[in-house]
């Protein structure tokens, strides 16, 4: 187990280093930088002033040197300064991270809360009217983009309720916060719940055809015991994998949703930073998303051994 943890840790570090190099180089290969945008918006270009701004921001240095300074700063939690607001990147991201974290947690909770039980019901009630209905709903969830669903929700609220559920002011209490985030969380989590439901159904049906299920049924075990103790316990392993993947995917899916609902989270901020070529903000956010993703994958791998004692990570 110890050697496995060391190997996984080294792999995580290698992955993060590779991602940092890719995002750093790609940002600087994009045409234009913050100095170009500033002078284009002003309608004139003074080469001397532009060169001075690039020198102050360190954009005139070779890319390897810029990368070295960035990594050196990250190791001491110095993410640099935003080119737009001139504030430390840590101060810019600090208030926005909890907002996106709460929204992502609600979306994931929505996905698991609806997807897992409905998938079990579809498997138990295979080829019934309820099964067909839920499968049609799941197909609509997989085929309907989250941003389009978000727009439909806004249109529904405006047309029928004469209200628009977007972020205007910070919520005053926990209940207001839950109500405010639940609608966009449901919009972005609908697709994930449909995917979890279909995978749960397929996994349950496969397990329910195993010999030990027939043996348990022949011994007189109740259907509830067979379905929820024997079958679900062994069918949940692949579902756990997809839940981990969707947890990481939800962060990317929140970019459009936060924009539609005007939620001041890190995903919405990332779009603005990309448009303004705000390198410190974009690099920090991408690395944050990458870190969360590799940690979730690592946690899922460790959870396998808890869910299935047959899985052992040898030293």
- The superfamily (CATH) of domain 96-155+174-258 is MetI-like (1.10.3720.10)
How many other CB atoms are found less than 10 A from the CB of residue 44? 7
User: d(Cα 120, Cα 201) in Å, to the nearest integer?
Assistant: 6
- Residues forming a β-bridge with 81: 88
Helix pair angle (232-260, 279-307), 10° resolution:
170
Name, in order, each residue with C-beta under 8 angstroms of 305's C-beta and a sequence gap of 6 or more.
311, 312, 313
Domain positions in the chain are: 1-95+264-315, 96-155+174-258
Q: What is the pLDDT of residue 309?
A: 62
Q: What is the pLDDT of residue 156?
A: 82
Q: What is the pLDDT of residue 45?
A: 59
| Mean pLDDT in order along the chain per 10 residues (315 residues) | 77 87 80 62 61 70 82 80 79 84 86 88 87 87 79 81 74 79 83 88 84 78 75 80 79 72 80 78 83 83 71 59
Q: What is the pLDDT of residue 310?
A: 64
User: d(Cα 118, Cα 228) in Å, to the nearest integer?
Assistant: 13
pTM: 0.77
Q: What is the pLDDT of residue 152?
A: 83
């Amino acid at each position: 187990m110890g050697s496995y943890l060391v190997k996984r840790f080294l792999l995580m570090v290698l992955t993060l280093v590779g991602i940092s190099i890719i995002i750093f180089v790609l940002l600087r290969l994009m045409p234009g930088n913050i100095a170009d945008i500033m002078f284009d918006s002003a309608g004139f270009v003074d080469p001397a002033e532009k060169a001075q701004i690039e020198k102050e921001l360190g954009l005139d240095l070779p890319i390897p040197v810029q990368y070295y300074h960035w990594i050196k700063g990250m190791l001491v939690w110095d993410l640099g300064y935003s080119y737009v607001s001139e504030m430390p990147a840590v101060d810019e991201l600090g208030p926005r991270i909890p907002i996106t974290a709460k929204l992502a947690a609600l979306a994931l909770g929505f996905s698991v809360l609806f997807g897992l039980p409905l998938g079990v019901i579809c498997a138990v009630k295979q080829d019934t009217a309820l099964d067909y209905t839920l499968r049609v709903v799941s197909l609509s969830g997989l085929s309907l983009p989250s941003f389009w669903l978000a727009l439909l929700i806004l249109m529904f609220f405006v047309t029928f309720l004469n209200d628009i559920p977007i972020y205007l002011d910070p919520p005053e209490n926990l209940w207001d916060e839950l109500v405010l985030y639940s609608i966009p969380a449901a919009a972005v989590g609908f697709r994930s719940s449909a995917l979890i439901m279909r995978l749960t159904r397929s996994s349950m049906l496969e397990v329910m055809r195993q010999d030990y299920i027939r043996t348990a049924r022949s011994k007189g075990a109740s259907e509830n015991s067979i379905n929820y103790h024997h079958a679900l316990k062994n069918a949940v392993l692949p579902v756990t994998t997809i839940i981990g993947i969707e947890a990481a995917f939800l962060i990317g899916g929140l970019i459009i949703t936060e924009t539609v609902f005007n939620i001041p989270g890190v995903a919405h901020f990332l779009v603005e930073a990309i448009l303004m070529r705000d390198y410190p903000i974009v690099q920090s956010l991408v690395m944050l998303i990458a870190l969360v993703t590799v940690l979730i994958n690592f946690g899922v791998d460790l959870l396998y051994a808890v869910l299935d004692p047959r899985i052992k990570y040898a030293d």
